[in-house]
């Protein structure tokens, strides 16, 4: 299960709550992003 964040109001929305309509439940915006939860560090040789 993925979690998305609304770009406008910042609400966290689970992918199960979105169904087929990709609209924020709180403000009605259609722009989301998937926040990164883990950072991967890459070192050069």
Place of tokens 């992003």: 33
Profile the chain (45 residues) by mean pLDDT over runs of 10 residues. Answer: 85 78 82 78 84
Residue 28 near residue 22, CB atoms below 8 Å: no
User: Does some domain include residue 8?
Assistant: yes
pLDDT of residue 4: 83
What is the spatial distance between Cα 29 and Cα 33, in angstroms, rounded to a whole number? 12
pLDDT of residue 6: 87
User: Does some domain include residue 45?
Assistant: no
Range of the domain at 24: 3-33
What is the spatial distance between Cα 41 and Cα 10, in angstroms, rounded to a whole number? 27
Work out how many domains the chain is built from and give that number.
1
User: Does some domain include residue 15?
Assistant: yes
What is the spatial distance between Cα 21 and Cα 17, in angstroms, rounded to a whole number? 9
User: Does some domain include residue 17?
Assistant: yes
Which structure tokens are listed for 7? 């770009």
């Amino acid at each position: 299960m993925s979690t998305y964040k609304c770009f406008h109001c910042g609400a966290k929305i689970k992918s199960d709550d979105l169904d087929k309509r990709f609209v924020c439940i709180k403000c009605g915006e259609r722009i989301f992003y998937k926040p990164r939860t883990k950072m991967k560090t890459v070192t050069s040789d």
